[in-house]
Structure 1
Amino acid sequence: MEPELLHGVTDAVATVVLHHPAKRNAMTAAMWRALPPLLDKLAADPAVRALVLTGAGGTFCAGADISTLRGSPDETQQLAVRAEEALAAFPKPTLAAVKGHCVGGGAQLAAACDLRFAEEGALFGVTPAKLGIVYPSSATRRLVALVGPATAKYLLFSGELIDTERALRTGLVDEVLPADGLDERVAEFTRVLVSRSQLTQAAAKEFADGRTDRDTHWAAQARGSGDTAEGVAAFLDGREPRFTWTTSG
């Protein structure tokens, strides 16, 4: 089967699957190129309230397909950066569900998600030093923001893989689940995400990612949304809130 991105939407959660099992879901140029328009499509879908990125089978992503680097490594890196930035800019909560190897370009994509849940036994690595590649500045800054400069340098300088225990301790992942427990936990947690206010989530995502010029915008959105009134009323009535503000307008 040709390398591709699979996707579907169930119960307001979009799932994007990196599918290249012959090479442990390594990203081809075509896969990098296909990700931004797919994300645009899912972002515009009012039925989507959260997104999960995962890999086919028992691995997340082993990086870039090295065979694609022989022709034009600069072009491949540009495609990877565009895909990474599109994922980071997705306006709804994103979660990487990681099994097996999450290496190189796979780690780049996982770091661009808002959250990362991993199954015990997963391995993480940022491996450009093994290939003589300059890791993109955007990806480097994002990695530093997650794990701090010391761990980022350890990963980038050495290209060594780390296990889930160290990934959790350094902040690279948010939760580690027992074997066969990842899918259930991701489904449970995304049910929580889609029940919450998209207004709160969208504003928090921008603020957490460093936007400092949007306070007035989000204050106006909050005043006109009705979400605050609904949230307070639902709390006082002892019921689940029915939030109506959406990123899709």
Structure 2
Amino acid sequence: MWRAIPQALRQLTDKAHAHVIVISGAATTVDFSAGADISEFDEVRKDAETARNYEALNSATFSAVRHCPVPTIAAIRGVCFGAGFGIAAACDMRIADDSARFSVPVARLGLAYPADAVKDIVAVLGPQMAKVALFTGAPMSAAKMAAAGFLLEAVPAEALDGEISALAHAIAANAPLAVYASKTAVRSVMEQDGDLLREAQVLGNITFESADYAEGRAAFLERRKPVFTGK
């Protein structure tokens, strides 16, 4: 599954031309993720070498989500623990229902969380709450995570699908080039990356001469919804 997630994201963006990606549990009525299968660790993380290889798979998945060219939304129900928490943290936005519970229990296993995933957690949870999560491994409620800023919002279970759909459709209705330029600019600020900032500026300049910019202006003047093509 670690190997499959980056492949799935590439398939969705490069071949299916998705405008936004929603990541959820295997079914919309079950847990988001209980994290890695600890029963496998005696085999797949039995020593330093195998542990490093396993962690490299973790990091590749976190990176694929983090650097996905289109916006990503985590739709969270139930348990969101361990590596599942890391995947959610790498997404652009997170919405959960009231049943959601969050935990990073690595300290209880005698392990350290991958440093790149810790960076995501600090960015979206804040340093103090990130320390609480990592140092204690204690489960935290959706309300607490929303108050900390990790979640965009926590909603009743019956409202989650509607909230996710509304957000995804609002994003997908906009010009893909403009959204990509904005996502790159936000990343450049979060990562304090000058090269990424220059890339965002180039992407922003491209929008000035895009067909979508012309369509956006025309639709505004004609008082109709724009039809963007990503060109």
TM-score when normalising by structure 1: 0.82
Runs of 4+ displaced beyond 3 Å: none
Give the CA deviation at 1:188: 2.1
* Corresponding residue number in structure 1 for 2:181: 203
* Corresponding residue number in structure 2 for 1:60: 32
Per mean C-alpha deviation after superposition, the further-off stretch among 162-171 and 180-189 is 180-189
Q: Report the AA paired with residue 218 of structure 1.
A: L
Give the 3-state SS of the residue equivalent to 2:170 in structure 1: helix
Structure 1 portions without partners, runs of 5+: 1-30
Match of 2:202 among 202, 217, 231: 217
Q: Report the AA paired with residue 180 of structure 1.
A: E
More helix, by proportion: 2
Q: Are 1:109 and 2:87 an aligned pair?
A: yes
Give the CA deviation at 1:72: 3.0
* Corresponding residue number in structure 1 for 2:97: 119
Partners of 2:72 and 2:187 in 1: CA distance: 13
Q: Are 1:50 and 2:20 an aligned pair?
A: yes
Structure-to-structure mapping, 1:175-186, within 5 angstroms: 175-186=153-164
Q: Report how many residues are paired.
A: 216
Partners of 1:98 and 1:212 in 2: CA distance: 31
Give the CA deviation at 1:216: 4.1
Paired residues of 1:127 and 1:158 also in contact (CA < 8 A):
yes
TM-score when normalising by structure 2: 0.88
Provide the alpha-carbon RMSD of the alignment: 1.5
* Corresponding residue number in structure 2 for 1:72: 44
Give the CA deviation at 1:113: 0.8
Q: Among the aligned pairs, what percent are the same residue?
A: 35
The one-character-per-residue Cα deviations of 1:81-100 (angstroms, maximum 9, x if unpaired) are: 11111111111111110000
Structure 2 portions without partners, runs of 5+: 46-50, 189-195
Partners of 2:11 and 2:17 in 1: CA distance: 11
Per mean C-alpha deviation after superposition, the further-off stretch among 59-68 and 209-218 is 209-218
Q: 1:208 to 1:215 in 2, by over 3 A?
A: closer
Match of 1:229 among 214, 217, 222: 214
Q: Report the AA paired with residue 36 of structure 2.
A: A
Q: 1:187 to 1:80 in 2, by over 3 A?
A: same
Partners of 1:151 and 1:76 in 2: CA distance: 26
Partners of 1:70 and 1:43 in 2: CA distance: 36
